[in-house]
């Protein structure tokens, strides 16, 4: 008699979704609070070194094999692209840019992912629906920037910080796509731990190279900035990522990917409620355009994937299922 194994409970699925929706939606607010009194690269280095170190220790105690030197090197390269170029730039930018605006710009990452996958990684040519989505996304960015005010010197947004925000999802997309071509640990948590450690070390060197310890009064560090830093390390980098990886094994990628357009909405609302960040009509229009753009692109990717494959998804979330890997959709601010 055939024995059927039951799937995960609805409660566990809901809790995991709540984690990636709420925790990753709050990371932008947490970054903004952390850098109020702590230097940005110090926050980033502390976050990723702590999260990566704890994860590596736990995995080694559980008997997960130690990666090869080549895998350490490759993971460090990907970590630089993701944690430094992606997350580090966001951390630096939120010193002068509202957390909600930062989340909106980073939410354009699937646009860059789709474009680079087609241009440089032999991915499929974007369909008309995807092109429309990309156009809407870039239009949303224009609403945020207001080019007429930028060139007139009237825009209140800090231009260097906005440039850093635009570069962040580009670095994250390149790192995610490049990770498909190089040898990384097969265990998703081990790969993430090594990437976090590699990125954290580079962020520490940047912290020292930019002389952050001397330029900041560490006696003035606030308690809430310390709490926000630990929140980013423990909840943003450990718990939410674990929930994300678990969901990829038990729920369709299309459903998991919905966090990409929910997180910026949460970030805008929290920034308005807690930090009194201004929500203008341009911001509202940008939210609608960027969210719609991401929805169009992601749903199209899932349609292509489902039509091209009949077998169930691979149990390892580090392996791609189509034009874009599941973990490629992780946001840079997470």
Report pLDDT for 2.
47
What is the Cα–Cα distance from 133 to 295, expressed in whole angstroms?
Answer: 8
What's the whole-number mean pLDDT along residues 54-76? 93
Within 8 A by CB and 6+ apart from 193, the residues are 51, 52, 53, 55, 56, 59
Report pLDDT for 321.
28
Report pLDDT for 170.
92
What's the whole-number mean pLDDT along residues 157-161? 82
Query: Are 298 and 110 in contact, with CB atoms under 8 Å apart?
Result: yes
Report pLDDT for 156.
64
Residue positions counted in the chain: 334
- Please determine, for residue 6, whether its predicted confidence score (pLDDT) is greater than 70: no
What's the whole-number mean pLDDT along residues 102-109? 84
Most confident of 48-62, 115-129, 302-316: 48-62
Report pLDDT for 320.
28
What's the whole-number mean pLDDT along residues 83-108? 89
Q: Which residue has the higher pLDDT, 284 or 84?
A: 84
Query: Are 99 and 32 in contact, with CB atoms under 8 Å apart?
Result: yes
- Please determine, for residue 163, whether its predicted confidence score (pLDDT) is greater than 80: yes
> What proportion of the chain, given as a percentage, has pLDDT over 90?
30
- Please determine, for residue 29, whether its predicted confidence score (pLDDT) is greater than 80: yes
What's the whole-number mean pLDDT along residues 138-167? 70
What's the whole-number mean pLDDT along residues 246-260? 72
- Please determine, for residue 20, whether its predicted confidence score (pLDDT) is greater than 90: no
Report pLDDT for 186.
85
Report pLDDT for 267.
87
Query: Are 24 and 107 in contact, with CB atoms under 8 Å apart?
Result: no
What's the whole-number mean pLDDT along residues 273-296? 82
What's the whole-number mean pLDDT along residues 107-124? 83
Q: Which residue has the higher pLDDT, 199 or 295?
A: 199
- Please determine, for residue 329, whether its predicted confidence score (pLDDT) is greater than 70: no
Report pLDDT for 122.
81
Q: Average per-residue pLDDT in the chain? A: 80
Report pLDDT for 1.
47
Query: Are 133 and 111 in contact, with CB atoms under 8 Å apart?
Result: yes
Q: Which residue has the tokens 């999802």?
A: 169
Report pLDDT for 300.
59
Q: Which residue has the higher pLDDT, 169 or 141?
A: 169
- Please determine, for residue 13, whether its predicted confidence score (pLDDT) is greater than 50: yes
Most confident of 92-101, 200-209, 246-255, 314-323: 200-209
What is the Cα–Cα distance from 153 to 150, expressed in whole angstroms?
Answer: 5
What is the Cα–Cα distance from 290 to 293, expressed in whole angstroms?
Answer: 5
Query: Are 299 and 254 in contact, with CB atoms under 8 Å apart?
Result: yes
């Amino acid at each position: 008699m055939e024995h059927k194994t039951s799937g995960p409970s609805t409660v566990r699925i809901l809790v995991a979704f709540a984690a990636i929706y709420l925790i990753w939606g709050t990371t932008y607010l947490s970054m903004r609070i952390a850098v109020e009194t702590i230097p940005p690269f110090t926050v980033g280095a502390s976050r990723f070194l702590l999260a990566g170190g704890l994860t590596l220790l736990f995995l080694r105690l559980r008997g997960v094999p130690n990666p090869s030197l080549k895998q350490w090197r490759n993971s460090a390269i990907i970590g630089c692209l993701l944690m430094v170029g992606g997350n580090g730039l966001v951390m630096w930018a939120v010193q002068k840019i509202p957390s909600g605006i930062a989340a909106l710009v980073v939410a354009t990452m699937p646009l860059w992912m789709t474009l680079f996958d087609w241009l440089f990684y032999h991915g499929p040519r974007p369909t008309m629906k995807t092109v429309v989505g990309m156009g809407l996304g870039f239009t949303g960015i224009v609403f945020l920037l207001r080019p007429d005010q930028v060139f007139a010197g009237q825009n209140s947004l800090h231009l260097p910080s906005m440039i850093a925000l635009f570069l962040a999802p580009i670095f994250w997309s390149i790192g995610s796509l490049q990770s498909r071509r190089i040898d990384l640990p097969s265990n998703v948590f081990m790969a993430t731990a090594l990437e976090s450690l590699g990125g954290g070390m580079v962020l520490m060197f940047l912290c020292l190279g930019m002389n952050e310890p001397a330029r900041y009064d560490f006696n003035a560090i606030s308690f809430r900035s310390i709490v926000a830093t630990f929140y980013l390390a423990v909840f943003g980098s450990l718990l939410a990522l674990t929930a994300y990886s678990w969901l990829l094994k038990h729920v369709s990628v299309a459903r998991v990917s919905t966090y990409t357009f929910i997180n910026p909405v949460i970030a805008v609302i929290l920034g308005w409620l807690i930090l009194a960040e201004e929500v203008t009509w341009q911001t509202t229009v940008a939210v609608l355009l960027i969210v719609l753009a991401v929805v169009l692109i992601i749903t199209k990717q899932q349609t292509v994937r489902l039509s091209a494959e009949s077998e169930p998804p691979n149990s390892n979330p580090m392996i791609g299922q189509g034009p874009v890997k599941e973990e490629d959709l992780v946001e840079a601010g997470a």
